[in-house]
Amino acid sequence: MDVRNRADQLREASNPLFNDRKLKLGTFCSNLSGGATMSSIDGVLQVKWESTTALARLADEMEFEAIVPVGRWKGFGGSTNFNGQGFECFTWAAAMGALTRNPAVFATCHVPTMHPVMAAKQATTIDHISSGRFTLNIVTGWYRPEIEMFGVPLMEHDTRYDMAAEWIEIIKRLWTSEEEFDFEGKFYNVKRAVMAPLPLQKPYPAVMSAGVSPKGRQFAAQHADVNFINLDAHDFDSVRARVDASRKTAWDECKREIQVWTNAYIFQGDTEADARAFYDYCVFKNGDWEGVENLVNIMGLNSLSIPVPALQNLKQHFIAGWAGYGIIGTKEQVVDQLTLLERAGFDGIVLTWPRYIEDMRQFKAETYPLLQQSGLR
């Protein structure tokens, strides 16, 4: 075997996304104001370096597999201007890679905002900083005012993925080629492209894509190692069907096996009643309902003829935790729900909490030991 492909250099040896734990865990949106919670309650995440590093250290201590930031350039207005303040993903990830030992360190990149040669070089730098734990999360962009900040139009949905396909092809060639190459496509033209050093991970760093639409799932199936999906229903059969559909697309169209991840938010209390009371306090009494209205309008959800009760329910999930899978209850119920998600077929879950630091500390002290006892970790 070529020395460059030795087993100790393969990404499975360094990137924890490829470990054998039954359920991998991560944090989500720990680089932005509010975290994933659109509420004015005390304890929501503030954009301070000591706060984001506190969350990274908690994830590191529990040997979480992932720290996933959200790429955000503009907030959503309302009373909290949710996610309006934040740290840029690549520079943030470089620091996270230096500060932690265990998790895969992600950078989320909007394709139209960064040239692939620059993205490949920055990703490689972080891979070296983190000793082979970097993962690239590819997003094509949907927030028009944000994309227009860069002086480019928001393309039609499927065209964005066509552009992303060229973008990641160039990046992977840079990650793997020791020779110069030319690339001429519809969206990019590069001449005599080359990069040194190459990433530590072989054949190249792990890639995640949050594709939900048919075109998005097809892109993830062809180009990603992890397909991140949002759930539009929370009953077991629907969740299982969504996971199975992602895996089926990857295998049927590309003969590839991929991981499937999602996000979940946790409201934990000493009793279920306590947890639900806290949820009501956070979402209904202190939620940023003006901000979430802006969010669903930007996403075009108000124009989809969604029944009013269903749309109201979706807004609640956005306020509580970026429309993730809601986990509300005691520490035992939290473990039960995470077990359910593993049974539904998920490889990993990125988690958020409304009072991010305080609640994650409680999770570490009270809930994580039960997850270990359950065999999930």
- 341/7: higher pLDDT: 341
pLDDT confidence tier of residue 212, bands split at 50, 70 and 90: confident
User: Sign of the C-alpha dihedral, residues 241, 247, 249, 251?
Assistant: negative
**Between 214-223 and 236-254, two packed helices, what is the crossing angle to 10 degrees?**
60
Instruction: Check residue 8 and give its pLDDT.
Output: 62
Q: Any residues with CB less than 8 A from the CB of 131 and at least 6 apart, and which? A: 14, 97, 200
Give 139's pLDDT tier (boundaries 50, 70, 90). Answer: very high
Residue 228: is its pLDDT beyond 60?
A: yes
pTM greater than the 0.75 cutoff: yes
Give the residue with greater pLDDT, 152 vs 122.
Answer: 122
pLDDT at 300: 87
Q: Which whole number is the average pLDDT over 346-357?
A: 98
- Report which residue type is found at 176: T
pLDDT level of residue 9 (50, 70, 90 thresholds): low
Looking at residue 111, what DSSP letter applies? Answer: G
Residue 1 is predicted with a pLDDT of 37
Whether residue 224 is predicted with pLDDT greater than 80 in this model: the reply is yes
For residue 24, pLDDT over 90 is answered with yes
pLDDT of residue 232: 77
Q: Which pLDDT value is given to residue 7?
A: 58
| Mean pLDDT score of the chain | 95
Tell me the CA distances in angstroms from 11 to 15, 16, 185, 204, 327, one per residue in order: 5, 9, 29, 7, 32
Structural domains in the chain (count): 1
Give the per-residue pLDDT at 121: 98
Burial profile 48-65: b = 16 or more Cβ within 10 angstroms, e = fewer: eeebbebbbebbbebbbb
Is the model's pLDDT at 2 over the cut of 70? no
pLDDT bucket at 271, cuts 50 / 70 / 90 = very high
pLDDT in tens, 70-113: 999 999 999 999 999 999 999 999 999 999 999 999 999 999 99
How do residues 118-131 score in pLDDT, each as one tens digit? 999 999 999 999 99
| Parent domain of 25 | 3-374
- pLDDT of 4 reads 44
Q: What is the CATH number of the domain that holds 120?
A: 3.20.20.30
Give the pLDDT confidence of 284-340 residue by residue, as tens digits: 999 999 999 999 999 988 777 788 898 999 999 999 999 999 999 999 999 999 999
pLDDT value at 6 more than 60: no
